[in-house]
Amino acid sequence: MNVHEAVRARRMVRNFSERPVPPEILERLLRDALRSPTAGNTGATAWVVLRGTDETARYWSTATSESWRSGSRRWPGLSRAPVIAVAVLSPEAYVSRYGEPDKATSASDVGLGTSAAAWPVPYWFGDAAFGVMTLLLGATSEGLAACFLGNFRSEGTVLAELGVPTGWRLFGAVLLGYPAGDDPRSASLDRPRPPVGTRLHYGRW
């Protein structure tokens, strides 16, 4: 499967089987994700990889609530995902990198090397998103199912449970596995896509 085919075939799957992901496939996908773009070659995005029910339960117990789990029609299918790859990032590392001599000239006029608050568009979130998309496309190319769960609640609790160092942020999590039959349809699929002409502009808006 080439990259164009993977882009067109990729979709969010929320109903997983318990079939494990072969370790060699998982390792290949994660190493590819680490090769995604990173501003200034900072490399301050990382993954905490949870495999099997004992490990993935630590994510579910902190990132979701009992009321959500008991009320969600998708919970049974999501809970069977054999792998959860948690994407984390370090804003401090990017700030430090853009305070170094080779970056200071271009960054100093807006203070990128002084604080995270100075960044109009934080590169660390972009880099984390690049890694997530690389992992999602890689999963598709390997015949796996995947979906992304955003950072909605209990960020500090999740990071503490996973032993992530102080100062790092939770971006979200990628669930990986094999699909298990029917996937509950998302209401979002009923929204019509905006026409290409409203999103693609050449020369000017």
- Please state, in angstroms and as integers, the Cα–Cα distance from residue 131 to each residue in 136, 144, 205, following that order: 9, 17, 29
pLDDT for 34:
97
pLDDT for 121:
92
- From the first residue on, what is the mean pLDDT of each consecutive set of 10 residues in the chain (205 residues)? 87 94 98 97 97 97 93 93 98 94 80 86 97 98 96 93 97 97 76 91 95
pLDDT for 177:
98
pLDDT for 65:
92
Q: Does this model's pTM top 0.85?
A: yes
Architecture of domain 3-181: 3-Layer(aba) Sandwich (3.40)
Give burial (CB, 10 Å; 0-12/13-18/19+) of 5. exposed
Contacts 24+ apart (CB under 8 A), 57-61: 58/161, 58/162, 59/84, 59/86, 59/158, 59/161, 59/162, 59/173, 61/161
Domain ranges of the chain: 3-181
User: Within 10 Å of residue 101's Cβ, how many Cβ atoms?
Assistant: 6
pLDDT for 184:
72
